């Protein structure tokens, strides 16, 4: 039922960020500082020299690889800072990212960059300053990644149900995180239905909308005998957002966090390359729940729909065939 990742997907898979660009994306040369991160960086420098406790900024260099924001590395006498900026979007996007990074960081389970500061830029736009992580040359150990991710899911609990304190984005699509006590209701409304409405608005696609809504209203049988607890999710876990540090320890980046069913974390697994050792280690900490396989495509559907909305019709058939298969399986 899962569509294979073709050429189109490889390059648009997760927000146009081929993973190969990820591993070696830093370059070091010396253009004018403000040109590097695309902003007048006075506020960034000010923070680094005051709260960041640096006495000197030694070098500023651009970091490539992202699509939505401009990024730079600020080397100082107290270490390096990673800065992203966006000239047109206000601070809410980076506030969402910072909150997600902070909550993941506080679980002390898997390495994420520690967020330091989000600010607005004088002429509009915003920036985020976080810990700079030196990436290692090789991909991380899948088994450690699986275990640490499961530990994060286990540690990151919520007493408000499913959702998040702020809305954020998945790629550039808004992701609504209104707190909801029932997971099936949350996933149906704020994940599937939201994307289906977008597809109808953007493409006039009433076929996928109507079939998808029929599925969204009939998800309950897929959750029989399962207790779903809210877990802190990275939310956009694909290979481009997974790296490893110089010690070879896994690092996860660029999250779209919310509290959800832990299995929803595998919704991007069609672009993640998780192997057997990843899943074995994961399930040792977070045991597999009954019906896991039956729900796997349901969680991919959200991301396929998002890719359809972001990148166009190349993803429609994958989303449609998942919907059709479920409608047939559930006989609705």
Ligand X SMILES: Nc1ncnc2c1ncn2[C@@H]1O[C@H](COP(=O)(O)OP(=O)(O)OP(=O)(O)O)[C@@H](O)[C@H]1O
Residues engaged in binding ligand X (CB under 6 A)? 15, 17, 22, 25, 63, 65-69, 71, 82, 84, 113, 130-133, 253-254
Chain center to CA of 125: 21
At closest approach, how far in Å is the CB of 130 from ligand X? 5
Report d(CA 234, CA 211) in Å as an integer: 29
At closest approach, how far in Å is the CB of 268 from ligand X? 12
At closest approach, how far in Å is the CB of 247 from ligand X? 15
Report d(CA 271, CA 255) in Å as an integer: 15
* Active-site annotation holds for 324: no
**SS3 per-residue string spanning the chain:** CCCCCCHHHHHHHHHHCCHHHHHCCECCCCCCHHHHCCCCCHHHHHHHHCCCCCCCEEEEEEECCCCCCEEEEEEECCEEEEEEEECCCCCHHHHHHHHHHHHHHHCCCCECCCEEEEEECCCCCEEEEEECCCECCCCCCHHHHHHHHHHHHHHCECCCCEECCCCEEECCEEECCCCECCHHHHHHHHHHHHHHHHHHHHHCCHHHHHHHHHHHCCCHHHHCCCCCCCEEECCCCCHHHEEEECCCCEEECCCCCEEECHHHHHHHHHHCCCCHHHHHHHHHHCCCCCCHHHHHHHHHHHHHHHHHHHHCHHHHHHHHHHHHHHHHHHCC
Backbone φ and ψ of 145, nearest 5°: -60, -45
CB 281 within 8 A of CB 144: yes
At closest approach, how far in Å is the CB of 94 from ligand X? 9
Report d(CA 31, CA 13) in Å as an integer: 31
Determine which one of 75, 77, 159, 236 is catalytic: 236
Return the active site residues: 236
């Amino acid at each position: 039922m899962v569509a294979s990742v073709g050429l189109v997907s490889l390059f648009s898979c997760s927000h146009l960020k081929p993973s190969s660009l990820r591993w070696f994306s830093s370059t070091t040369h010396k253009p004018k500082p403000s040109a590097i991160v695309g902003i007048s960086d006075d506020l960034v420098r000010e923070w680094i020299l005051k709260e960041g406790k640096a006495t000197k900024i030694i070098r500023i260099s651009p970091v490539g690889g992202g699509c939505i924001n401009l990024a730079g590395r600020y080397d100082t006498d107290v270490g390096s800072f990673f800065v992203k900026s966006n000239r047109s979007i206000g601070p809410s996007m980076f506030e969402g990212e910072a909150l997600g990074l902070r909550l993941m960081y506080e679980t002390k389970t898997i390495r994420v960059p520690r967020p330091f500061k989000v600010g607005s830029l004088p002429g509009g736009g915003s920036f985020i300053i976080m810990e700079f992580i030196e990436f290692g040359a090789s991909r991380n150990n899948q088994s450690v990644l699986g275990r640490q991710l499961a530990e994060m899911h286990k540690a990151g609990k919520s007493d408000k149900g499913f959702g998040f304190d702020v809305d954020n984005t998945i790629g550039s699509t808004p992701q609504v995180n209104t707190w909801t006590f029932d997971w099936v209701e949350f996933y149906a409304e704020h994940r599937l239905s939201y994307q289906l409405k977008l597809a109808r608005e953007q493409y006039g696609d009433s076929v996928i909308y109507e079939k998808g809504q029929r599925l969204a209203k009939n998800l309950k049988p897929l959750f029989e005998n399962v207790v779903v607890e809210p877990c802190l999710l990275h939310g956009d876990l694909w290979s481009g957002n997974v790296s490893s540090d110089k010690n070879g320890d896994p690092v996860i980046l660029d999250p779209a966090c919310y509290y959800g069913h832990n299995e929803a974390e595998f919704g991007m697994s069609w672009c993640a390359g998780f192997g057997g050792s990843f899943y074995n280690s994961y399930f040792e900490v977070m045991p597999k729940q009954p019906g896991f396989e039956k729900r796997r495509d349901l969680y991919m559907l959200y991301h396929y729909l998002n890719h359809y909305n972001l990148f166009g019709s190349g993803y429609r058939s994958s989303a449609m065939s998942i919907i059709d298969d479920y409608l047939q399986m559930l006989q609705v």
